[in-house]
Structures are given as C-alpha cells and as structure tokens.
C-alpha cells in the first residue's frame, strides 16, 4: 500500500524558487571579477536564472545536454547554475586549475555544447578552443563595457546575452532522478571520471547539509563559501544556503588572506567553508595585522586534513572549527566533525583529539570499513579498513564508464583507509593504494610520514610499501632533508623509535633531493614507486 | 538523461539504523507510565524495534497492514513505531482524547489488526473492544509485574511479547512511497479523515524539520517533545531527533507544569515542543515556585495560536519562542516563526509583532493565498486569502475517500484563511468556513473576537456571518458577559469603534448565557449558526 502524500519531485530549481518567494530580499554579495563589490538578491538571481534558461532553450539546449562553466564564485555563476539545471540541462563545472590538456579531455568527453566563463579564463580558453569542437558558443560572465576582443566562437557578454530574454519562461518539468550537474575527478592515474549528480541527489544533499551539525546555517546567518563552485559541487552550498535564505558572500577570484578577511569582516560573515590552505593564509594575515573576526561562528574545513594547530587557532578565536571529509562522488559531504556526546563538553587537548578526526556521518550517509575481502571491521578507533559509503547523494557509476564501482551491498569504495570509533567518528589513515600491507596487517603511510616530518632536519617525508619475501610488503621511508642539513638513516629511525608500534618501523630510509608532487600539491607516490621499483630491503636479502 | 547516484530509498527505519550506528550510546529518558524514570539508548531501541518487527512478522502482519497504538510518549512507543514501519506495516496512532465512539469508528475504518496501548487506556479499550472486531491482539506497553487482569483479546505484556523474539531479523525491503503511518483528523463536522504518511514523506519531513530555523537540534542538544506521538505525527520529532542523535526526554502521561518542569530541569533539556496549554501550565508553575530553566534554549509552540504574553515570557527567560503552524495533513510542519532578516535584530514589541505571526515556510512547503475563485492574492500582510499548500510531506488524498482535495495546481486547501507578508511570514486570520464575506470583501471573525474580549465585561465572544440582503453576509457578535456583569449592545460597539475599519463593525450584538465549545475547547460555531439561523439584522429589514 502506498502513502497518500503529494508527488513533489525534488528539483534543484525549487530551491531558488523558495529563496525568491520567502527570502527574496536576502542579499548575495560578490567581489566581482571586474573588481567592485556587487550586490543582488535571491529574487533577482531567480529572475536572471529564468532568462538563462530561456536563452538556452532558444539556443536549442535540450534535457540532458551539457552546458559547461569555468568560473569563480559570483552571482552570475549562481544564476547560470540554476538556469541550466532548471531546463533539465546538465551544469558541468570545469576546474580551471587543471592542466589545459585535462580541460580539453574533459570537455570533449562531456561533449559540452555551451561554455560559460569568466574574463580570467578567456586567454586560457582561446588557446584550447580549437580542440573542443563540441562547444557551439562561449558566454563570458561580464557586461559589454568589460567584454574583451576574443577569438572564442560566437562569444557574447553574459549581460548582453540575458538581455535578449524577457524572462517570461517556466522551468521545464522532469523526473527528480534527471541529471542536474556534472563534475570530473582527476586522480594521479588514469583519465578523469565524470560524476553525474541528479536533481534528487542535490536537493537531498542540501537538506542533509542544512542540519545544524553539518553546514546548517540560519536565515539570519551569512555564509562565505571560499570553496569554489567548480570544486566538488561547491560542497552543496549553492543549494543549501538559498534553501535556508542565508545571505551569501561570494569571493570571486581573490582568495588571499587579506581579501578573504576583508569580506568576512565587512559583511559580518558568520559561517565559512574552504580548504586548509585558505585558512592558513587567513590566519597568517590576521596574526600579522592583528585583526579579529567577532562575527565569525563556524568554519568548515575539508579537502585535506586540518592541522591540529589550525583547529586550536580557530577555537582560541571563539570560532567552532568543523573538520569535514567528503568526495566529489559524495556530493561531497561524508563526515563533519562537530563535538557530540560524550565529547560535547571537552575542552583543550581532549577536544582537539576529537576534532582532529574527520568527524561522523550525518543521516543520509552510511559507512563501513572492511578488509580486502569485504569483511566489516570493528569500530574500535584502532582497526583500519577500506572506507565504503552508501547514500542517496553518492555515485553508483561514472559518466560513460561501464565499470561497476559498488560492492555487493551497494557501497562505494572511497579509496581511503580509515578507522571508525564507537561514536561514529572517522579518521582517515591512508589511501588504500598507499597503505602498507605487512604480514596481513595494515600500516598507515600517512602516520609514518607525519611522524618523520617531526624530525627537525626533515623537510618532507614519504612512505611507500616495497615488496618483501616474508612480510609481503614493508614500509620504506623516503626523506628530503631541509637545505644544508645532514642526517643518517639511524638518526631518523632513532627519532621514530618508541613513538609507534615496533612492527610499524620502516625497514629502511632513503634520502632524495626532492619529493615529487601532483598539480594540487599532493605527494606523487606513483612516481616514487617507479623511482624505487628496483629497490630491495637489506633485510629482504637474508 | 538520469543522474548516476545511488538508489537509496528514503525509509523510516534507516533513521533508527543511523541513530544506533552513529549515536548508539545516546540516551532516551522516559517518565514511565508505571512511575519511575527509565533510561535506554538508541542502540537498545533499535534492538527492540527489530524484535517488534520480528513478532509482527510472525503474527502474519504484512506490508500495508495497519497496527494501531494508543499510547503516551515513551521509549516503548518509539520502539513500536520503528518496528511497525520497518516491516512495511502502517503505524496508526490513535488519539486517546477522542470520544470512545470516534475511536471505534476510526479503528474500524482503518481495520487495525493489532492494538498496542498503555496501562492508562486498558479500561477504556475494554469498554469498546467488542465493537472493534478487526483487532486480533492487544499488546500492553508494560512488563509482567505490572500487567493487569484484562478481558482484552489475546492481551500480553509488551516485554513478554518481545522476549519471545531473538532479534535476528532484517527490515523488509520496499519502495519509499510505501505507506508508513496513519493519523485521523477529526473536525467539528463529518467523519474523521485518515491521513496516510509514506516513508518518503516522513523522512523528508525529518530532514526539513532538522534545519536550524525549524526544529533543528544538534547531537549535543536534548529534546523533550511534550506534543504526543498520537498528535499530528508528533510534529515529526520521533524521526528528526534520532536522525540527529539528539537525546530524547519522553514525558509519559504527566504533562502538568510541575512534572514537565522537573524533566526539563533534571535532564537539562535545551529544546521542547508543545501546545500553548502546556506552556501556560509550565509558566504558571515556574512563576509560583520561582523556578528557572537555564539550559532551555528553544520552545516550539503550535496547535493553536501562541499568546503574545507567552512569547514575551519566554523571551524574558532567554528562551527563543518559535511559533509554529501546521496540520496533520502536513506531517505537520507548515511554518515556523524564527526571526530572520530584516527582522533578525528586532527586540521588544517590534520583535513580538513578527513572532506573533505563524512564521514562514521552510524549503519543502510551498504556499499561496487565493480568493474563492482560486486567484492568487498579494503578499502584502493585509489581503486575506484561502491558504493552500504543496510539498512532498503534504496529503493528496484521504484514506478510503475518493474526494479530490487538491486544486488544479496540486495545492491542498488548508481550510484556513491567512495573510502573507513580503518576507513569507504567514498570519492565520480565520477558518475559511468562519470568515465573513461582506460585499466581496472578507472580514476576520477571529480579529473581531479578539477585539471584543478586550472589553472588561466580556468573558468570551464569537462572531458569525449572518445573511444580509445587500452585503451577502454581515458579522453578528455574540457575547457572553462575565458573571454578574451587565453591558449593552452600544457599550460593546462603542468600545470597538475606531479600533477597526468602519465596515468591519458588527451589525449587531447578541448576549448569550454560554458559548458552546468542542471537546478540544474551540468555539463550536456550527452550534451558534444553528442557534441564530432565524436571526435577522435590524438593518436588513430596511
């Protein structure tokens, strides 16, 4: 027997409709790419989003067609999102920080028909446009006065383009499982993989994110998403903030400490969200300039691990730091690290111990950790396992890729290795391809690296697993010393001795002149493995 | 093109699964019907809920079968909810405050197969059991020691019943649109009507309620739902609190001021929710006994309008009062009255003016006000209209009733008349059957009544529309004076003069010895209309 409740599909444009109807006067403030601060409202954003939809419709964009954006966080980008999705087209956010060849590959794979971009990226696109034949037209997010001369095909200034529409237009009707947006992940190996969000997944993610232990802002809050709209679905903030009527402050292209501070301060921002690098720049600027942020209440930090010193710095400011973990494939929220019972009243180092974990999953994200055979591992805060996740905002497949990516229970393997504690707090200990499997037990390469860099002469450390006849794999520690420093294998191992389990100790230390990195600054272990592919442990010869 | 996100149906039992996995140690504290305070956890509640499901399954309860509860807010009632819903049966909450004949009618209409109830209601049920032949078995929420002698068919103590199960049981699998729960509304006329919630509607409602401007508690909060599980889906709190890991404090049968105060105080409750009568009792108790509640942060008040003095009393205590409005047909949340821009920083009388409205709808509730022809009316805070609503947790039909209850846009007519302001704040001005339609314009009977009772000699006032040859209808004011007081028609009208628009002034005043009420204390206007059916205005004769 079915319930007798209304059929009300979860569609992304219902969010901007709600924001315009109930919070229509609420402001969206942007540091524009052209320079000045720009102010608009949710009602005006919806009005322009309808014009975007109308113009795309006139162009012949159909349900399921891809429309790309390469752009900063601005009100125009937000208008484009809702306009694209509201006609059932797929908003494909492209990360401008990728290598140009990757952008070309992604746009061709997605077969984007329209490209909407900022002034910043016009020179980049001009260089690669001839390799992206699917793009029929370029829309530049600016007005006529700022529109450059360009070779981009059918280029037009966004303001001119939407001025051609009268806005007398209705959103298209379609099923809530219709594709709404697309974002490619680019790992260290293989081709990028396209994550395809649905209207349902985006709306459910926003509702999940709105809980007050996640990103849940109130209508009287002000949210500044430093995290870009092109990064992992902007952590859902482009949906969650309007759904609550929260004022949005969009930082545009300037993400340095001084610029972010200025917006946080002048707009009295209460919530913000971004990666550790951004917060490091902000905290350094504030320390140097002796600045304060009395209105700031919560900072959500994800993308990579939040250093303990940063968590403490925010707490000392009276700001609640929320360590978050997620993935593009998860829309992206996986866990958020708010203090909850029995830890809710902890302070000082004890609180930091909890806040340094990646947090616990909200309702809507199920987790398990398993061994390689898929057997669930205990939640004892010690046992590692492959972290696998399930939920309505989590991928089941990649765009135009046939591979099955779910296990037999329908869980997605995150590629991370983690521990869970009895209270649901998760701690990432490694990437599964990097974890060292020694005699059936797992050793965290990240824990060893974090320990080794504590040595005063070590600049950076990397640990890889090297084949071992008896133990299957054993850890090899690779060290880059600080300039003009000298240290021996024994110096380093002696420093580590006693700080970890005996059997975790690296079997050897190798010194290198430099450790290779990816474009986004992560250690490129694949290159290290190649470099040390013929290496054999001294102990292994025995 | 469809998105590529996981198929993860929104099912009620996923909420208790989440609570048990991530917040398993979190407490649920109950003032038991037997007397003592009882403590359990979400993990234990899920364990017993599985046993309930297992026992119902063994009994032969199938997907879609109805299982009734007539019970207070206790941990056992919560276990029963999740156990019933987790096998796809329909949890039918019956309101024990209804007349026995109404209970009989409802149980027969629903064809409930099992009845689960508290000790309190065993005598009531024994009197009517023979009129409810569909009920195959009665489960009494108690243990063997407290189990009374009873004539109820196949009666067993709940604890004995679930002890027969080993809990080695899995939830059933079914579509998210499957019926999960049922609640009958009983108006002043006609038969009760069955609202049939789905798993999807309950889960979406919980996610909506979890936003911090609605009922959104944090995992470190403590929620005491005074509102019963048998009243309008318990305002969704049985779903929203576990989904957040919030500690629940269940008041059992004792809802008087002293008892509610004791639980709020000893359990350091931060959020509570209930009807104005309950808060009145609490505030009177606290004033008399000079008590304080330093931990209480938010009180949500709905069911009927929250008096201005009560809103002020809570604000003076440092508690945020949230005026809420909803309906059983809405799961039930319709609006919640948090202060938002541009009102967020108001204090004193100006804040009270906003907080006295019924609030604004969260994302997931769409509203419109229309005239009788269905034409939308402006949101100017002045124009009345029939209030119509749409959303995924709102009824589209009643159980076993063929009538279409939606308009051509799919909106449900609430039967209320309201104004909307430009910021989405809604104010109920009347029931649509009570509003007076004079010369094409609408006059609020409630506003006139509220004004008339301000006269020092008036005990209670009711306004009904009476036919008028020129104006269609005109207001008749019916007054019950305070004991031993005397007043004339002119006294009353003179008092009202100048305080309302001239054309709103009642055409006449009639004095009565007593004004009739419904079982729940509302003015029974249908009886007044009958009483005055032959009444003609003096002005109408002209």
Mean pLDDT of all residues belonging to chain A: 95
User: Which of B120, B185, B383, B520 is an active site residue?
Assistant: B185
* CB-closest option in A2, A247, A398 to B179: A2
Q: How many CB pairs under 8 A join A and B?
A: 239
Contacts of B355 in chain A (CB under 8 A): none
The whole-angstrom separation of Cα B183 and Cα B399 is 10
Mean predicted confidence (pLDDT) in A195-222: 98
- Upstream peptide bond of B332 is cis (omega within 30 degrees of 0): yes
Nearest to A22 among B245, B360, B399 (CB): B360
Question: Which chain B residues are within 8 Å of A331, Cβ to Cβ?
Answer: 5
The Cα of A475 is separated from the nearest Cα of chain B by a number of Å equal to 33
What was the ipTM of the complex prediction?
0.94
Give the model confidence (pLDDT) of A362-384 as tens digits: 999 999 999 999 999 999 999 99
For the beta carbon of residue A172, count every other beta carbon within 10 angstroms.
17
Q: What is d(CA B383, CA A175) in angstroms, rounded to the nearest whole number?
A: 35
Q: Given this structure, which CATH class describes domain A436-531?
A: alpha beta
Show the beta-strand stretches assigned E in A73-192: 90-93, 114-117, 137-140, 156-157, 179-185
Give DSSP secondary structure letters for A256-272.
SHHHHHHHHHHTT--EE
* Per-residue H/E/C for B394-406: CECCCCCCCCCCE
Write down the catalytic residue from B75, B161, B442, B504: B442
Looking at the complex, report in whole angstroms how far the Cα of residue B432 sits from the nearest Cα belonging to chain A: 22
Q: How many residues does chain A have?
A: 542
Based on DSSP, count helices (H) and strands (E) in chain B, helices before strands. Answer: 15, 24
What is the residue extent of each domain of chain B?
Answer: 8-195, 366-431, 436-531
Q: Is position B329 annotated as part of the catalytic site?
A: yes
Decide if B242 contacts B42 (C-beta within 8 A): yes
* Residue A296 contacts residue A270 (beta carbons within 8 Å): yes
Angle of the B445-452 helix axis to the B489-496 helix axis, nearest 10: 110
Pick the more confident residue, A99 or B508. Answer: B508
Active site residue B442: yes
CB spacing of B394 vs A177 below 8 angstroms: no
Over the stretch A263-303, which tens digit does the pLDDT of each residue have? 999 999 999 999 998 999 999 999 999 999 999 999 999 98
pLDDT in tens, B315-334: 999 999 999 999 999 999 99
B-chain CB neighbours of A413 within 8 Å are none
Neighbours of B311 (CB within 10 A): 22
Residue B100's SS3 state is helix
- Say which of B25, B247, B399 has its CB closest to residue A423: B25
pLDDT at B539: 72
Question: Tell me, what's the pLDDT at A305?
Answer: 85
Handedness of CA B438, B443, B449, B455 (dihedral sign): negative
Q: A8 — phi, psi (to 5°)?
A: -130, 85
- The CA-to-CA distance between both ends of chain B, in Å, stands at 70
Is B245–A340 a contact, with Cβ atoms under 8 angstroms apart? yes
* CA–CA min distance B269, chain A (Å): 14
Residue B540's pLDDT is 67
Query: Sorting pLDDT into bands at 50, 70 and 90, what band is A166?
Result: very high
Query: Are the C-beta atoms of residues B475 and B448 closer than 8 Å to each other?
Result: yes
The β-bridge partners of B463 are B477
Maximum pairwise Cα distance, chain B: 81
Q: Give the torsion sign (CA, B264, B269, B270, B275).
A: negative
- The region that residue B228 occupies, defined by phi over 0 for left and psi between -120 and 50 for alpha, beta otherwise, is beta
B contacts of A220 (beta carbons < 8 Å): 338-341, 344
Length of chain B in residues, anyone?
542
Nearest Cα of chain A lies from the Cα of B262 at a distance, in angstroms, of 22
| pLDDT tens per residue, range A405-422 | 999 999 999 999 999 999
- Is B178 in Cβ contact with A2 (below 8 Å)? yes
**CA–CA separation, B53 vs B86, rounded Å?**
7
Give the model's pLDDT for residue B464. Answer: 95
Query: CA torsion angle for A433, A439, A441, A442 (degrees, to 10)?
Result: -30
The per-residue pLDDT for range A332-345, each reduced to its tens digit, is 999 999 999 999 99
Q: How many CB atoms lie within 10 A of CB A486?
A: 9
The full DSSP string for A208-242 is HHTSTTTT---TT-EEEE-S-TTSGGGGGHHHHHH
Token pair belonging to A85: 């999705």
| Dist. CA B82–CA B16, nearest whole Å | 7
* Region class of A374: left (phi > 0), else alpha (psi between -120 and 50), else beta: left
Q: In this structure, which CATH number among 3.10.110.10, 1.20.970.10, 2.30.38.10, 1.10.1370.30 belongs to the domain A366-431?
A: 2.30.38.10
**B353: preceding bond cis by omega (within 30 degrees):** no
Dihedral angle, C-alpha A277, A282, A286, A289, nearest 10 ° = 100
Torsion of CA A151, A154, A157, A160, to 10 degrees: 150
Please give the CATH topology (third level) of the domain spanning A8-195.
Answer: Rossmann fold (3.40.50)
Residue of chain A minimizing CA distance to B378:
A21
Average pLDDT of A190-200?
A: 94
Kindly determine whether residue A180 and residue B399, on different chains, have CB atoms separated by under 8 Å.
no
Instruction: Give the pair of three-digit tokens for residue A175.
Output: 């099923």
B210 interaction partners in chain A (CB closer than 8 Å): 207, 210-212, 216
- What Rg value do the Cα atoms of chain B yield, rounded? 24
CB pair distance less than 8 Å for A244 and B179: no
* Residue B99 confidence (pLDDT): 87
d(Cα B20, Cα B26) in Å, to the nearest integer? 9
pLDDT of A307 reads: 87
Q: Do B394 and A5 touch (CB under 8 A)?
A: yes
* H-assigned helices in A337-459: 348-355, 445-452
User: Quick one: pLDDT at residue A190?
Assistant: 76
Percent helix, percent strand, percent coil in chain A, to nearest 5: 30, 25, 45
CA angle A449, A415, A90 (to 5 degrees): 125
User: CB-CB: which of A207, A220, A422 is closest to B340?
Assistant: A220
B chain contacts of residue A197, beta-carbon cutoff 8 Å: 3, 5
Across the interface, do A8 and B390 touch by the CB < 8 Å criterion?
yes
3-state secondary structure of A171: coil
B410 Rama sector, left if φ>0, alpha if ψ -120 to 50, beta otherwise: left
| Equal CATH topology for A8-195 and A366-431 | no
3-class secondary structure, B69: strand
> In this predicted model, what pLDDT tens digit does every residue of A425-456 receive, in sequence order?
999 999 888 999 998 889 999 889 989 999 99
> What is the token pair recorded at A58?
């006139």
Q: Does residue B325 have an active-site annotation?
A: no
A101 pLDDT higher than 70: yes
Alpha-carbon dihedral angle through residues A360, A365, A369, A370, given to the nearest 10 degrees: 180
pLDDT band at A189 (very low <50, low <70, confident <90, very high): low
- In the predicted model, residues of chain B with pLDDT beneath 70 are 187-189, 519-520, 540-542
């Amino acid at each position: 027997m079915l319930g007798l409740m209304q059929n009300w599909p979860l569609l992304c444009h219902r969010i901007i409709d709600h924001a315009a109807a109930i919070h229509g006067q609420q402001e969206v403030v942007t540091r524009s790419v052209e320079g000045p601060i720009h102010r608009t409202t949710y009602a005006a954003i919806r009005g322009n989003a309808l014009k975007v939809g109308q113009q795309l419709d006139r162009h012949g964009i159909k349900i399921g067609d891809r429309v790309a954006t390469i752009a900063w966080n601005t009100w125009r980008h937000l208008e484009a999102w809702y306009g694209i999705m509201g006609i059932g087209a797929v908003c494909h956010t492209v990360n401008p920080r990728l290598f140009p060849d990757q952008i070309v590959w992604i746009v061709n794979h997605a077969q984007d028909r329209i490209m909407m971009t900022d002034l910043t990226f016009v020179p980049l696109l001009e260089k690669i446009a001839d390799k992206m034949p699917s793009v029929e037209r370029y829309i530049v997010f600016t007005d006529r006065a700022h529109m450059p001369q360009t070779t981009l095909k059918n280029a037009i200034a966004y303001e001119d383009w939407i001025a051609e529409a009268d806005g007398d237009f209705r959103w298209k009707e379609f099923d809530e499982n219709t594709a709404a947006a697309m974002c490619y992940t680019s790992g260290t190996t293989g081709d990028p993989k396209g994550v395809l969000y649905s209207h349902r997944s985006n709306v459910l993610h926003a509702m999940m994110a709105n809980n007050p232990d996640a990103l849940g802002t109130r209508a009287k809050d002000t949210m500044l998403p430093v995290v870009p709209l092109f990064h992992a679905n902007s952590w859902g903030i482009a949906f969650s903030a309007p759904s609550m009527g929260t004022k949005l402050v969009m930082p545009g292209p300037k993400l340095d400490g001084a610029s972010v501070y200025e917006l946080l301060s002048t707009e009295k921002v209460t919530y913000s969200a971004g990666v550790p690098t951004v917060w490091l720049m902000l905290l350094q600027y504030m320390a140097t300039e002796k600045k304060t942020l009395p209105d700031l209440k919560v900072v959500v930090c994800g993308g990579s691990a939040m250093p303990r010193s940063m968590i403490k710095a925010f707490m000392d400011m009276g700001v609640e730091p929320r360590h978050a973990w997620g993935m593009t494939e998860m829309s992206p929220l996986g866990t958020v690290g708010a203090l909850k019972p029995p830890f809710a009243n902890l302070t000082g180092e004890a609180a930091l111990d909890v806040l340094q974990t990646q947090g616990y999953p909200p309702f809507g994200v199920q987790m398990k950790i398993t061994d390689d055979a898929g057997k669930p591992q205990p939640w004892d805060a010690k046992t590692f396992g492959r972290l696998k996740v399930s939920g309505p905002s989590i991928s089941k497949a990649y765009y135009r890729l046939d591979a099955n990516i779910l296990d037999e229970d329908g869980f997605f393997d995150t590629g991370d290795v983690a521990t869970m504690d009895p209270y649901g707090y998760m701690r990432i200990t490694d990437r599964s391809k990097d974890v060292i499997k020694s005699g059936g037990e797992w050793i965290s390469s990240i824990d060893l690296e974090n320990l080794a860099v504590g040595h005063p002469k070590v600049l950076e450390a990397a640990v890889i697993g090297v084949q071992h006849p008896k133990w299957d794999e054993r850890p090899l520690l690779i060290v880059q010393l600080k300039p003009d420093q000298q240290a021996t294998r024994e110096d380093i191992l002696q420093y580590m001795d006693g700080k970890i389990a005996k059997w975790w100790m690296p079997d050897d230390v190798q010194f290198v002149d430099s450790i290779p990195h990816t474009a986004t600054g992560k250690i490129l272990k694949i290159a290290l493995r190649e470099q040390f592919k013929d290496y054999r442990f001294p102990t292994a010869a025995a």
